[in-house]
Amino acid sequence: MADARTRLLVLGSLPGRASLAAQEYYANPGNGFWRLMGAVTGVDLPALPYAARLEALLARGIGLWDVIAHAQRSGSLDSAIRDPAARDLAAMADALPALETIAFNGRTAERIGLRQLGEDAARWRVLTLLSSSGACAVPGAVKHADWMRLRACLAPTLSS
């Protein structure tokens, strides 16, 4: 989910069971993604219907995607991912004329995504965020502070 307005592309690894079942990004209630992005954007994203959440992000220049197209995985943990098939991130990024920043949601997304981008990664600001997953055992305040770094990437659009 990204379009020509996308200045910041947030990349996860692969949707978990709850997200696949709901056909929605970050559908697991234990995942803090929508809460964290709500803090970044100043919008109460968890209170909105899913389609409105996506539009609120796009309106602020934020796109979402995954670095893995499909894989074998038992459960939802990134550590259980086997035989991942990579997406063509370079082609995706090239199709986004306003793209300035790529942010990886966790180390697995970073490792796979940077391998896909190769030397092209230097074309954008690249950030690696603490995973929004509930399995990432970091205090919420630490995650919040880490994700708030995204505000610097969005300053002109946050007043929208």
Task: Considering the candidates 6, 13, 19, 31, report the single residue annotated as catalytic.
Answer: 31
**Cα-to-chain-centroid distance, residue 105:** 5
Query: Helices in 24-160 by DSSP H: which ranges?
Result: 33-41, 50-59, 89-94, 107-117, 140-147, 151-154
Question: Does residue 124 contact residue 99 with C-beta atoms inside 8 Å?
Answer: yes
Active site residue 105: no
- State the Cα–Cα distance between residues 108 and 80, nearest whole angstrom: 11
Phi and psi of 83, rounded to 5°?
50, 55
- Known catalytic residues are 31
